[in-house]
Structure 1
Amino acid sequence: MKLILRSFILLFSLSTLNAKEMPPNIVFILADDLGWADPSCYGSTFHETPHIDSLAKRGVKLSNFHSTSPVCSPARASLMTGLYAERLGMTQPACHINLVSLKAHTPDKGWPHQKVISPKSTTRLDTVFPTYAKVLKAQGYVTGHYGKWHLGHEPYTPLEHGFDVDVPHTKSHGPKGSYFGPKKYSDSFTLKKGEHLEDRMGQEAIEFIKENKDRPFLLNYWAFSVHSPMFAKLDLLDKYRKKATKLPTDAQQRNPIFAGMIETFDDNVGLLLKAIDEAGIADRTIIVLSSDNGGTIESAYTHEAYWGNGTVEEIVDIPATSNYPLKSGKGTIHDGGTAVPFIVVWPGKIKAGTKSDSYFSGVDVFPTFVEMAGAKMPSGVAIDGVSQVPALITGEEVRDTLYGYWPNYLVERNGSIPSAWIRHGDYKLVSYFFDGKNNKHRYELFDIKNDIGENHNIAAQNPERVAKLSAMLKQHFVETEAVLPKLNPNYDPQAKAPQK
């Protein structure tokens, strides 16, 4: 399927409409590395997230929302464009590097110690692709992006992808050294000494809400939290350190620094909700909260808490979090890497306090936002996602299959090797590229309904189901024109990885 982006035409002006006639505002709150089990409304008994929990009570909470990738840039690109990461050729979180690559490819030779050659990812989200910001802006929305982008710096910033405002408009893909200032992120954005990056982002977003309360707006509040480096405010660090002492040493979640970071994120979610209420626009504002990928679980991470002056408070060598009962976490092919919280509040449309097990992919966000806004996709634009409005309002199932793609090695961190997965009905098939006998793909099959932790591989007992799902996955790659891994002719099973 070839994509053609045609010019967006402003079809009508919304400036003269009264509040009842206005399309709804859309506030998209996206955390970075917030895992499926991190909010207390999703089961955490260690983290405290009262404001996220309040959102869940006001709307619908999904249990089967999956990112298209277990890492940030590919997942974010899918959210913005409605296209699978494999179609975009974005398979790695590399959009901050200096090399500009707009076309993925797989080299003919690879490292001798690796059996499979991974594709070389694109390093920017090309501006030829449509985004939900472009569509809504063309319909009269004022659009603002606040926080992390990580899809490319100039000329690939939010400003080139449909947003009127971009703060902090930075090349950086995360906090510079710590979450505290003083730090300069761009010519237009500097943190003062002791100022916390997430708190500043929250205040900037609140000003956007105040300034645009009388017209329809799209607000991306894409938090830097809770990505590393791990820095908690001292009062929160002390709070959760005391709380952790009452837990057994094998508790699934017990990192006081990460818990403190989650609470700071949650505090800013609360301030955004308060600003919406005070502006008198809560009844016409859709609020969506999610995360780009699963939670970080590797204990190899060094977690440090800093004062604003940069002094190390302590080092904790324990996992940041756990996605239990899901398996593994960020950067893996397992559900812990792609399943994330997803909460939608839509006053007058979605019944409060509801839950949904419907399948929802990251590519579905774009068309869902467009339908929520009462807009239409421009002619000539084709995307992979489908609108989930029927699922959100009535519970109607609109998708029966999910896909994920992770064609990279991260063996030293979490054991990952090039792989992909398909979820159809109650079953999930994982395909490991060229890792089986005679260099064929190796498959694992899981009955997710009865084995949510992917603990029991039942591929050998279900050859027909494996064949069906593997054929569907293969067809998916054909339809998305995916750049796939290759078998490495240079492979030497005795070779060792180069020393870093």
Structure 2
Amino acid sequence: MKYISFYALALIALGGCRSVETKTSVSQPPNIVFILADDLGWADLPLYGNRFNEAPNITALARQGMVFENAYAANPVCSPSRASIQTGQYPARIGINDFLPGHWRPYEKLKVPMNKTQFLPLSYETIGETLKRAGYTTGYFGKWHLGRTEKHHPKNQGYDTSVVHRGGKFFNYNDDMAPTTEFPDDKILSEALTDMGVDFIETNRNKPFFLFLAHYDVHVQLDAHNDQIEKFMKKPKVEGYPSNAVYAAMVQNIDISVGRIMTKLEALGLDDDTIIVFFSDNGGLVSRFDEIPLLAQSKLTYYEGDSLQYIASSNKPLRAEKGTVYEGGIREPLIVKWPGTVKKGSRSEAIVCGIDLFPTFAQMAKAELPKNQVVDGKSFVPQLRGAEEGQDRTVFWHYPVYHHSEPASAVRQGDWKLIHFMDDDRLELYHLGNDIGETRNLADSETEKRDELYHLLSQWRKQVKAAMPTDNPDFDPLRRKEWSRHPAFGDMVKGTTSTSF
């Protein structure tokens, strides 16, 4: 009996070892959920100091993960920023420098370059394709803005399941979806997109998945349910902040979406096996560039005769807004929850950019980067694991377009940031460590740093072959602020390549 007992114990022990080995050998890579807001500013969320908007679920996500203080979009508007996320490349290298098709002021001092194409070419390997190669099931739901025609939609860019929101509606949007949907007319868009995301998680619960949930909130025209708006209309305003109730309701809708995704993962027992990343595509909008009301027609009565018909938000203490390379146009909220890897409630000062998401997701998934595609980004997995590096990193922006400002490029290296404005060839230099609001231009006093950064910026523009504005033969000082439909609008609708390059 002694020998039998010993033998039985040995078998149990051996079986236990084999059980551990088997579990390890078949362990799956983590699921990844990426939630992208539209036009949500760094200063719009309570976790970054906002005292009017409400986002308890996003705050809860932050408590469970890491918050980045120096996260940036690769461009101050949507299409270039989204192209950078999909490819890991600077938008200037891709040749998509403005939203598709772009802004156009025909009588300005400079003639701005058109986008190289009016879609993201299929020749690029997207993050969807990279993770699909690594065994992930991939889904994309929401705003795409990287090609209007079906040929260039996510379903042909590495996403197994996708529904694209092509229009600008928050209600009654079924015909603006590709493929068309059958949601009730009074179901708000954020809820519908989240419904699809939740269904995708449920369907693919037993295999590794990558969910890209791309909201249209908080983009204009601002719209939300009346009861939500009325809730914030009754809330006391915060001094120094516009406290727009429609905008606050849209922030709340994003927050509700985040909460629903977190709840579904918990209900399915996937919480510990899923990474959640929350980001925005560019800085917050203060007011429309064309100076028209930014509320949906049906919501104008809430602010009849009030300046809040024209003002969405504020990025203070950051300077300026979407469509500029000042901090208000490019600094973003970024939260990463990675159970078992990221320290809960941690914050990082590392400088990260939208171009970094591609290599970061690839490393999370243990996927190989594409061999024949330049990846400008750098994985920030080391920072997620606690490395205190990346604060002296150099990153670049190129926005050669008249929008909320003049055509400009910028570089940040550590705490220093240089902006080159092309309209009059001026340089502005700021020390963000001491002046996050970019209020003190040090270009004339810190000439050595100014020249060093300008050299870096000039060399980078040559390296990526950045398209530059040229003198405009139709320049008219009296008409320079006039807006016109972009000449490449037809190319965008047809899904053809622009001939401007």
* TM-score for the superposition, normalised by structure 2: 0.86
Following superposition, the deviation at residue 320 of structure 1 comes to 0.7
1:192 aligns with 2:184: yes
What is the CA–CA distance in structure 2 between the aligned matches of 1:17 and 1:461, rounded to whole Å? 62
What is the CA–CA distance in structure 1 between the aligned matches of 2:279 and 2:292, rounded to whole Å? 23
1:476 aligns with 2:460: yes
1:131 aligns with 2:126: yes
CA displacement, residues 404-424 of structure 1 (integer Å, 9 cap, x when unaligned): 1111112xxx3x111010011
Distance 1:499 1:267, change over 3 A: closer
| 2:201 counterpart SS class | helix
1:409 aligns with 2:402: yes
Is the contact between residue 295 and residue 310 of structure 2 (CA under 8 Å) also seen in structure 1? no
Distance 1:484 1:96, change over 3 A: closer
Following superposition, the deviation at residue 491 of structure 1 comes to 3.7
CA displacement, residues 301-321 of structure 1 (integer Å, 9 cap, x when unaligned): 524367xxx686534425211
What is the CA–CA distance in structure 1 between the aligned matches of 2:252 and 2:224, rounded to whole Å? 9
Distance 1:233 1:369, change over 3 A: same
Following superposition, the deviation at residue 265 of structure 1 comes to 1.3
Distance 1:199 1:420, change over 3 A: same
CA displacement, residues 45-83 of structure 1 (integer Å, 9 cap, x when unaligned): 100000100110001000111111100000000011000
What is the CA–CA distance in structure 2 between the aligned matches of 1:468 and 1:96, rounded to whole Å? 32
CA displacement, residues 254-312 of structure 1 (integer Å, 9 cap, x when unaligned): 10000011101111110011011111111110100010001110163524367xxx686
Following superposition, the deviation at residue 130 of structure 1 comes to 1.5
Residue type of the alignment partner of 2:295: E
Distance 1:181 1:130, change over 3 A: closer
Residue type of the alignment partner of 1:202: T
What is the CA–CA distance in structure 2 between the aligned matches of 1:193 and 1:240, rounded to whole Å? 24
What is the CA–CA distance in structure 2 between the aligned matches of 1:396 and 1:376, rounded to whole Å? 25
Alignment equivalent of 2:416, drawn from 399, 414, 427: 427
CA displacement, residues 115-163 of structure 1 (integer Å, 9 cap, x when unaligned): 2221101310011112111111011100000111111132111111110
Residue type of the alignment partner of 1:357: E
Task: Report the equivalent of 1:276.
Answer: 265
1:290 aligns with 2:284: no
Is the contact between residue 257 and residue 305 of structure 1 (CA under 8 Å) also seen in structure 2? no
- Counterparts of 1:32-431 in structure 2, within 5 Å, are 32-94=38-100, 111=106, 113-121=107-115, 122-152=117-147, 153-167=149-163, 169-170=164-165, 172=166, 174-176=167-169, 178-180=170-172, 183-243=175-235, 246-247=236-237, 251-298=240-287, 300-304=291-295, 313-315=301-303, 316-398=308-390, 400-410=393-403, 414=404, 416-431=405-420
Is the contact between residue 225 and residue 265 of structure 1 (CA under 8 Å) also seen in structure 2? yes
What is the CA–CA distance in structure 1 between the aligned matches of 2:112 and 2:335, rounded to whole Å? 34
Distance 1:311 1:318, change over 3 A: closer
- Counterparts of 1:421-500 in structure 2, within 5 Å, are 421-435=410-424, 441-493=425-477, 496-498=480-482
What is the CA–CA distance in structure 1 between the aligned matches of 2:287 and 2:174, rounded to whole Å? 29
| 2:33 counterpart SS class | strand
What is the CA–CA distance in structure 1 between the aligned matches of 2:188 and 2:197, rounded to whole Å? 14
Residue type of the alignment partner of 1:36: W
Is the contact between residue 95 and residue 151 of structure 1 (CA under 8 Å) also seen in structure 2? no
What is the CA–CA distance in structure 1 between the aligned matches of 2:102 and 2:429, rounded to whole Å? 35
User: How many residues align structurally?
Assistant: 454
Is the contact between residue 305 and residue 313 of structure 1 (CA under 8 Å) also seen in structure 2? no
* TM-score for the superposition, normalised by structure 1: 0.86
Following superposition, the deviation at residue 495 of structure 1 comes to 5.4
Distance 1:327 1:496, change over 3 A: closer
Following superposition, the deviation at residue 434 of structure 1 comes to 4.7
Residue type of the alignment partner of 2:435: D
Is the contact between residue 61 and residue 355 of structure 1 (CA under 8 Å) also seen in structure 2? yes
Distance 1:181 1:74, change over 3 A: closer
Is the contact between residue 181 and residue 192 of structure 1 (CA under 8 Å) also seen in structure 2? no
CA displacement, residues 311-332 of structure 1 (integer Å, 9 cap, x when unaligned): 8653442521111100011111
Distance 1:498 1:251, change over 3 A: closer
What is the CA–CA distance in structure 2 between the aligned matches of 1:356 and 1:471, rounded to whole Å? 29
Following superposition, the deviation at residue 499 of structure 1 comes to 7.3
| 1:359 counterpart SS class | strand
Moved more, 291-300 or 347-356: 291-300
Following superposition, the deviation at residue 388 of structure 1 comes to 1.0
What is the CA–CA distance in structure 1 between the aligned matches of 2:184 and 2:25, rounded to whole Å? 38
Residue type of the alignment partner of 1:146: F
What is the CA–CA distance in structure 2 between the aligned matches of 1:335 and 1:421, rounded to whole Å? 11
Task: Report the equivalent of 2:488.
Answer: none
What is the CA–CA distance in structure 1 between the aligned matches of 2:344 and 2:101, rounded to whole Å? 38
What is the CA–CA distance in structure 1 between the aligned matches of 2:348 and 2:377, rounded to whole Å? 18
Following superposition, the deviation at residue 175 of structure 1 comes to 2.9
What is the CA–CA distance in structure 1 between the aligned matches of 2:101 and 2:197, rounded to whole Å? 24
What is the CA–CA distance in structure 2 between the aligned matches of 1:155 and 1:18, rounded to whole Å? 40
What is the CA–CA distance in structure 2 between the aligned matches of 1:256 and 1:364, rounded to whole Å? 34
Distance 1:311 1:457, change over 3 A: closer
Is the contact between residue 174 and residue 181 of structure 2 (CA under 8 Å) also seen in structure 1? no
What is the CA–CA distance in structure 2 between the aligned matches of 1:380 and 1:495, rounded to whole Å? 46
Following superposition, the deviation at residue 467 of structure 1 comes to 0.8
Distance 1:499 1:363, change over 3 A: closer
Distance 1:188 1:138, change over 3 A: same
Q: Which has the larger radius of gyration?
A: 2
Moved more, 291-300 or 132-141: 291-300
Distance 1:241 1:355, change over 3 A: same
| 2:150 counterpart SS class | coil
Structure 1 unaligned residues grouped into runs of 5+: 1-15, 98-106, 436-440
Is the contact between residue 223 and residue 299 of structure 2 (CA under 8 Å) also seen in structure 1? no
CA displacement, residues 328-366 of structure 1 (integer Å, 9 cap, x when unaligned): 111112110000100001111110000011000111100
- Percentage of identical aligned residues: 36
